[in-house]
Amino acid sequence: MSGLTDLTLAEARDAVAAKKVSSSELTEAFLKAMEAARSLNAFITETPERAFEMAAASDKRIAAGNARPLEGLPLAIKDLYCTKGVRTTAGSKILHNYVPQYESTVSQNLWDNGAVMLGKANLDEFAMGSSNETSYFGPCISPWRAKGSDAKLVPGGSSGGSACAVSANLCLGATATDTGGSIRTPAAVTGTTGIKPTYGRCSRWGIVAFASSLDQAGPISHTVRDCAIMLKAMASVDPKDSTSVDLPVPDYEAGLEAGVKGLRIGIPKEYRVEGTSPEIDAIWNKGADWLKAQGAEIVEVSLPHTKYALPTYYIVAPAEASSNLARYDGVRYGHRAEGIEDLIDLYQKSRAEGFGSEVRRRILIGTYVLSAGYYDAYYLRAQKLRSLIARDFTEAFKQCDMLLTPATPGPAFAIGEKISDPVTMYLYDVFTVTVNLAGLPSLVLPAGLTESGLPLGLQFIGKAFDEATLLRAGRALEVAAQFTAKPQPWWRAP
């Protein structure tokens, strides 16, 4: 079989099951593609030996007729997921040498379903960022370029490596995480599909914590179907994460083609924000028209507290981060400063040397908003606003089954364009953070290209634990949008 790396996860699964290709052949093809794409910096650690070992074990199982749902399918794992015996850095210097003694529940679920690990994907440091530029291991570069330009673009963040690896055909799918948009932003700007499940749908155990009340695992993949397949394998209740939810995991793939006839799809008027590119507005209108043409009813709804979402998120997330990141002290694991005088000096120097500037900024903001005297003024108020933001969605869902919105205010930007101005960078999260504050599921998929040939995504936001309906609507939009564009492989040596 030729073009192995062009297959979707579903196609590869079917080809493996039909014995048209072996897992070892697939794995080799992806490892070669990864090698040829090192200039994109999509991976922090490649794990070829483990990949071949897992592939050989899968081929044996297939031969014996014991294949599991993801048997032999090569995936990339965001380097925020702890992988037993394989370095896990969270994109930070402070964990540059950390080798976990345990496996995250979600990655374990994937291996238990037969998947093969290709390596650990690049990300913003501790998943803090929207462009993958805060990684200690250097920025990941988008495989996409604007027409007639060779400017390097961001792949979105924080799961930039995951999105880049999928978009450049370096894996069949990738794990990602989303605290305020980190699955959806990279998917939107790289022409890939990602789903942030409901808070509690996937276990957070073994995933390096950023903001525990917002963090959620999910897949980035080529298609809605691939997302459905991966999410089914990733989701589970887990006694090791008390916020994981004990609800049956539906067969998301089974209902995919049911269409949107009779579904009511809400358009939140507050998402028409200033500063959004006209091309995004146009694709949003087009998306609504496509769904209407397939029998959905489009209704205007209101989410009145939307304007408070970014300030609320940028208080809650740093507050939780400052607490979660207190564990990196240079004592137990990770980077330890040399030439220290006493314990306090060890903490101070190790943390100052180990954390990059964006992470330090978050720790400072978080500590400030939690400190006595400021707690009520900032943190408590943010918590109250969070409830109001969540209530907006509850009210809106009385009028509709899901919402359709833009995913990002614009297409991918150039590396270096926003990184020196954190507030501009934070504004890029305007359409995604509300969902995390409310704990809801949300799907992003490609809907079109800009004039200059860059992908634009649309976002569906659903009711809690209604991923199945989101995926079904996503599939309908995918069929209508017929997005088949791929980046030109400029990164491959001629």
List interacting residues with ligand GLN (CB under 6 A). 127-130, 158, 178-182, 210, 317, 429
Taking the C-alpha atoms of residue 381 and residue 387, their distance in angstroms, rounded to an integer, is 10
Rg of the chain (C-alpha set):
21
H-run or E-run covering 48: helix 48-63
Residue with tokens 């926003």: 418
Contacts of residue 113, defined as CB under 8 A and 6 or more positions apart, other chains included, come to 68, 69, 70, 71, 233
Taking the C-alpha atoms of residue 31 and residue 48, their distance in angstroms, rounded to an integer, is 7
Which of residues 182 and 192 has its CB atom nearest to ligand GLN in the complex? 182
Q: How far is the CB of 397 from ligand GLN (least distance, A)?
A: 23
Query: What DSSP letter does each residue of 365-376 carry, written as one string?
Result: HHHHHHSTTTII
Taking the C-alpha atoms of residue 177 and residue 292, their distance in angstroms, rounded to an integer, is 31
H-run or E-run covering 186: helix 184-190
Taking the C-alpha atoms of residue 436 and residue 317, their distance in angstroms, rounded to an integer, is 10
H-run or E-run covering 31: helix 23-36
Q: How far is the CB of 374 from ligand GLN (least distance, A)?
A: 20
Cβ atoms 131, 419 nearer than 8 A: yes
Q: How far is the CB of 459 from ligand GLN (least distance, A)?
A: 14
Taking the C-alpha atoms of residue 210 and residue 193, their distance in angstroms, rounded to an integer, is 23
Angle at 488 between CA 483 and CA 493, to 5 degrees: 155
State the SS3 of 128-177: CCCCCCCCCCCCCCCCCCCCCCCCCECCCCCCHHHHHHHHCCCCCEEEEE
Which of residues 419 and 468 has its CB atom nearest to ligand GLN in the complex? 419
Q: Which residues form the catalytic set? A: 78, 158, 182
H-run or E-run covering 361: helix 357-370
Which of residues 16 and 365 has its CB atom nearest to ligand GLN in the complex? 365
Which of residues 179 and 192 has its CB atom nearest to ligand GLN in the complex? 179
Angle at 200 between CA 210 and CA 118, to 5 degrees: 65
Which of residues 226 and 429 has its CB atom nearest to ligand GLN in the complex? 429
Q: How far is the CB of 383 from ligand GLN (least distance, A)?
A: 17
- The packing angle between helices 23-36 and 9-17, to 10°, is 150
Which of residues 127 and 140 has its CB atom nearest to ligand GLN in the complex? 127
Q: How far is the CB of 62 from ligand GLN (least distance, A)?
A: 36
Q: How far is the CB of 435 from ligand GLN (least distance, A)?
A: 10
Q: How far is the CB of 317 from ligand GLN (least distance, A)?
A: 5
Q: How far is the CB of 116 from ligand GLN (least distance, A)?
A: 26
Which of residues 340 and 370 has its CB atom nearest to ligand GLN in the complex? 370
Cβ atoms 123, 91 nearer than 8 A: yes
Which of residues 46 and 133 has its CB atom nearest to ligand GLN in the complex? 133
